Amino acid sequence: MDGKKLEYKGEEALRELEKLTERTGEVQVNLLKDILMKNKNTEYLNKYMKEPTEVTTFKRLVPVVTYADIQPYIQRIANGEDSSLISGQTITEMLRSSGTSAGEQKLMPSIAEDLDRRTFLYNLIMPIMNQYVPGLDKGKAMYLYFVKSETPTPSGIPTRPVLTSYYKSKHFKCRPPDPFNDYTSPDQAILCTDNRQSMYCQLLAGLVHRHQVLRLGAVFASAFLRAISFLERNWVHLCNDIRTGSLDSTTIVDPGCRTAMSDVLRSPNPLLADEIEAICRCKSWKGILCQLWPRAKYIEAVVTGTMAQYIPALNFYSGGKLPLVCTMYASSECYFGVNLNPLCDPAEVSYTLLPNMGYFEFIPLGDNGRLLLMMDAGNEEEVVPVDKLVDLAHVRPGCYYELVVTTFAGLYRYRIGDVLQVTGFYNRAPQFRFICRRNVVLSIDTDKTNEEDLHKSVSMAKKLLEPYNALLVEYTSYADTSTIPGHYVLYWEVLHLQHSSTTNGVVSLFDAHLLPECCSTVEESLDYVYRRCRAYDKSVGPLEIRLVGAGTFDALMDLCISQGGSINQYKTPRCIKSAAGLELLNSRVKACFFSPRDPTWIP
Ligand code: AMP
């Protein structure tokens, strides 16, 4: 593929989008032919096909796989064998995904031209936004982006998260000046691998330019909220720097950050420092974003999937005044698609899959708006019959599917693990709602709770906190089988929006029945099989909520990041399995509550 072909901007990018989506089926078949032609000499394809360029043979013979199946090939390349094991082009980097397989981080192969494909998708975002929010070229974007340090494989291939790869690439660093993509954060601050210094400098730059900022954001909502919490802890220092016109020399030592920030903090600005201080001093931070950045028109961050739980917190900090914009759906394996209706309600977000990103196929999971087949971790080993797969051009509205991709870099019919539902079409390109990741489940007996069900139940229960002026800021779960019968444990971190002077710790604000009622509400909202297990089989014990202290989930994030995760891509695991994670959570428990009664179950 010629990278130049993908260099579209503005109106031209939108015209290309029209063309691609009008010819979805054709684009996909040509792309698959191209992948097979380029990769025909790979050991992987030759293992399954005698004539590796034939689309029909590929469809008949190449199996649907999970990470465990391809891990040996990845490992061999990481150890120094040739890229041609899986790809016709050199594997230039291994992208560290946020997922794990058998406790190990997943490494996804990537080739140089993948950066062109990612850039093509990024270049679509502003032309799409510009159709809905005019004037975005008249100011700046305060987007908090972070990189993670990289480590080489034994053979010297860099391994890094996909976003780190992008920010370090010439596609980002040498981008031509563009009034639609004028960021407050200096590149050196984004590229600083010390996340604390990077965050400090990026927030400082965002505050200095507060009157020019038109949009706020981060990749995921969790990262944006983490920035707000950092600001809550550090605004005094930040204001000091603005007041004196000099960067805190004790904590910000990174030379790149210091050089870049000396350009931002040109001279002392006590007036600006006073303004910001007056805003940050307010008792309640409700609506603070619109006060600090009065011209901001929206917040851009992923708030679909597991990120949906952050919507109330984002709305709290924006006073409900800023639309939450989810622009794209992507992964380390492949970038997938864009949201063509970016101002829609987060619950309505659908992504249009771009047919030139990778070859997409779908494992049907259910019809008529009903998710029939619950995929769980066990199903990963299940062989998916290849004749069951549906092409991108042939998915049906309302149906649920698991996404499977084939890429130039050497993934063939690889299960991404995301469950999607078709909501409609843009031209001939299907649009999908993100439902959940397949492998996040709680199960004690025959019950199986997926992420969406858990989220729905928790959403029902957390409403009970509202009259107490409290907000569930984070949660995760654990299937506790150390007791017989085992039971579901939910770890909840609760934030009080207004502190009462009589408060003595988290628990005292609640009346004694509140959290047991929350337990019960979660159980009532879980599915039929769960309630049968609880009420009839008695194979599941009463659900427990363990309240954890403030900052616990930040600490959990730190733990995951210290083990090699990326701050940009970090998503709170909805189910904790790691011993270290559980130990951390359990060490922060303030109080435990159990469901006081069996949930309703009618045979
Ligand atoms: P990673 O491989 O770490 O980049 O994570 C990719 C995964 O993040 C995807 O497979 C999805 O499960 C999730 N993800 C990415 N973008 C979105 C989105 N817009 N909405 C919901 N989940 C997303």
Find residue 321's DSSP bridge partners: none
Q: Coil, strand, or helix at residue 440?
A: coil
Q: Facing residues of 498 across strands?
A: none
| Top mutation candidate among 110, 302, 436 for ligand 1, by most atoms within 8 Å of CB | 302
Place of tokens 């970038």: 335
Largest separation between any pair of C-alpha atoms in the chain: 76
Order of all β-strands in the sheet with 414-426: 328-330, 335-338, 351-353, 429-437, 414-426, 400-406, 359-366, 390-391
Question: Are the CB atoms for 521 and 460 separated by under 8 Å?
Answer: yes
* Ligand 1 centroid, distance to 330 Cα (angstroms): 6
Nearest CA to ligand 1 atom 22: 305
Ligand 1 pocket test: pick from 94, 167, 219, 329 the residue with the most ligand atoms within 8 Å of its Cβ. 329
Supply 574's token pair. Answer: 């909805």
What pLDDT is attached to residue 2? 44
**Residue 33 is inside which H or E element, if any?**
helix 24-38
Question: What order of strands is seen across the sheet that includes strand 213-220?
Answer: 140-144, 213-220, 298-302, 324-325
- Report strand pairing: 441-442 vs 359-366: unpaired
Ligand 1 centroid–CA 418 distance in Å is: 8
- Where helices occur in 393-513 by DSSP H, the ranges are 451-462
What is the Å distance from ligand 1's center to 507 Cα?
35
Q: How confident is the model at residue 303, as a pLDDT?
A: 93
Task: Please identify, by atom number, the ligand 1 atom nearest to the C-alpha of residue 106.
Answer: 2
Pocket of ligand 1 (CB under 6 A): 97-99, 162, 302, 304-305, 326, 329-332, 416, 418, 434, 437, 569
Tokens of 592: 């435990």
Sheet architecture: strand order including 544-548: 470-480, 487-496, 544-548, 589-594
Task: Give dist(CA 436, CA 306) in Å, integer.
Answer: 7
CA of 329 from ligand 1 middle (Å) equals 6
Pocket probe for ligand 1: among 331, 357, 421, the residue whose CB has the most ligand atoms within 8 Å is: 331
**For the purposes of burial, counting CB atoms within 10 Å of the CB of 261, is it exposed (0-12), middle (13-18) or buried (19 or more)?**
buried
Residue 145 three-state SS:
coil
- What is the structure's pLDDT at 565? 75
Q: Could you say which residues of the chain have pLDDT below 70?
A: 1-6, 99-104, 306, 309, 367-381, 439-441, 446, 497-510
DSSP conformation class of 183 = B
* Cβ-contact 110, 94 below 8 angstroms: yes
Ligand 1 atom closest to the CA of 437, numbered from 1: 12
Q: Which alpha helices (DSSP H) does 139-250 contain, by range?
A: 162-168, 170-173, 187-190, 195-208, 221-244
The confidence score (pLDDT) of residue 374 equals 43
> How far is residue 264's CA from residue 247's CA, in Å, rounded to a whole number?
10
| CA–CA dist 381, 475 (Å, integer) | 29
**What's the CA gap between 312 and 474, in Å, rounded?**
11
In whole angstroms, give the CA distance from residue 393 to residue 390.
8
| CA 437 / ligand 1 centre spacing (Å) | 9
Give the residue, by CA position, lying nearest to ligand 1 atom 23.
Answer: 329
CA-angle at 148, arms to 189 and 307, nearest 5°: 95
Measure 554 CA to ligand 1 centroid, in angstroms: 20
DSSP code per residue over 552-583: HHHHHHHHHHHTT--TTT----SB---HHHHH
Residue 144: its pLDDT value, please?
97
Amino acid at 361: E
Q: Which atom of ligand 1 is nearest to the CA of 95?
A: 2
Residue burial 318-353, b: 16+ Cβ < 10 Å; e: rest: beeebbbbbbbbbbbbbbbbbbbebebebeebbbbb
Q: Ligand 1 mean position to 577 CA, how many Å? A: 20
DSSP 8-state secondary structure symbol assigned to residue 82: -
Quote the ligand 1 centre to 327 CA distance (angstroms). Answer: 12
CA of 270 to the centre of ligand 1 (A): 42
**What atom of ligand 1 comes closest to residue 566's alpha carbon?**
3
Under 8 Å between Cβ of 97 and 149: no
Q: What is the pLDDT of residue 502?
A: 42
Q: How far apart are CA 165 and CA 172, in angstroms?
A: 10
- Cα of 505 to ligand 1 centre, how many Å? 36
Beta bridge partners of 111: 91
The model carries a pTM of 0.80
Q: Considering only CA atoms, which residue is closest to atom 3 of ligand 1? A: 98
For residue 379, what are the CA distances in angstroms to 125, 401, 417?
A: 36, 14, 11
The angle formed by the CA atoms of residues 26, 28 and 34, to the nearest 5 degrees, is 105
pLDDT of residue 107: 94
Q: Are 490 and 479 in contact (CB under 8 A)?
A: no
- Where helices occur in 474-587 by DSSP H, the ranges are 514-525, 528-532, 552-562, 579-587
Choose one of 434, 561, 566 to mutate for the ligand 1 pocket test, by most ligand atoms within 8 angstroms of C-beta.
434
pLDDT value for 52:
77
List pLDDT tens digits, range 524-535. Answer: 999 887 898 899
What are the boundaries of each domain within the chain?
3-113+328-437, 137-155+177-325, 441-594
Protein residue closest via CA to atom 18 of ligand 1 = 329
